[in-house]
Amino acid sequence: VGKDKADLLQGTLDLLVLKTVETMGPIHGWGIAKRIEQISQDLLEMKYGTLYPALMRLEQNGWISSTWGASENNRRARFYSITKLGRKQLAREAEKWEQMAAFIGRVLGSTR
């Protein structure tokens, strides 16, 4: 684990996964991890030990659903897609995040 790779801010993993599933879905776990790493320009390293429970949790909450399917190289994989509830949750979370980011930006800006 590289020192320069950032840890995920708590609570942001759900948001990232939801957004990825929304735009890319149906998508398998590998794809989600790759996509997030790619967008972060490899600043984030997705550990499956973290990603996996998050997927389960989102599914239990009814925000995503999953079915078995075949991957691009014809392997059996689980494909995740967002649900109606999930879209609502995503909108809520995204709004919260933007408010927070704006607030933190203001705080950092004002001290300068």
Partner 1 sequence: MAQFRSLASRFFALFRRRELEQRIDEELQFLLNMQTEENIRRGMDPPDAKAEACSKIGNRTQVTEAVYRMNTLSFLEESARNARLSLRMLRRSPGFAAAAIFTLAIGIGANTAVFNIVYAVLLKPLPYPEAGRLISVQHTAPGAPGMMSASGDLRLSASLFFTYADHNRSFEAIGAWSVAAATVTGQGEPEEVRTIIVTKGVLEALGVKPAAGRPLAEADQSPGAARVAMLSYWYWQRRFGGDRAVIGKSLIVDAQPAQIVGVMPAGFRVVDTEAELILPFRFNRAELELPGFYLRSVARLKPGVTPEAASADIVRMVDLWMNSWPPPSGVNPRSWDQWRITPALRPLRQDVVGRIEQGLWVVMGTMGIVLLIACANVTNLLLVRAEARQRELAVRAALGAGWGQIVRQLLVESLTLGLSGGLLGSAIAAALLKAVVAIGPASLPRLNEISMDWQTAGFALGLSLVAGLLLGLIPAWQYARPKLGQALRAGGRSATDSRQKHRAQNILVVAQVALALVLLVCSGLMIRTFQALNRVQPGFTKPEQIQTLRIAIPTALIAESERVMLTQQQIQEKLAALPGVSAVGFASTLPADGLPPNWDAIYIVEGQPRLPGQPPPMRRFKAISPGFLEAMGTRLIAGRSYEWVDLMDRRPVILISENLAREYWGDPRTALGKRIGYARNFREVIGVVQDVYDNGVHDVAPATVYWPTFDANKFMPATRNVTFALRSARTGSQGFLRQVEQAVWSVNANLSLAAIQSMAELHARSMARTSFTLVMLAIAGGMALLLGVVGIYGVIAYTVAQRRREVGIRLALGAAPSTVRRMFLRRGLILCATGCVLGLGGAVALSRLMKSLLFGVTPLDPMTYVVMPVVLLVAALAACYFPAQRASAVDPVETLRAE
Residue 2 near partner 1 by CB under 8 A: no
Residue 24 near partner 1 by CB under 8 A: no
CB of 30 to partner 1, least distance (A): 5
Spatial contact of 80 and 29, defined as CB atoms under 8 Å apart: yes
Q: Cα 35 vs. chain centroid, distance in angstroms? A: 9
CB of 86 to partner 1, least distance (A): 16
Site for partner 1 in 41-100 (CB under 8 A): 47-50, 52-53, 56-57, 59-60, 71, 73, 75-78
Burial per residue of 48-86, b for 16 or more beta-carbon CB atoms within 10 angstroms, e otherwise: eeebeebbeebbeeebbbbeeeeeeeeeebbbbebbeeb
Residues that bind partner 1 (CB under 8 A): 28-30, 33, 47-50, 52-53, 56-57, 59-60, 71, 73, 75-78
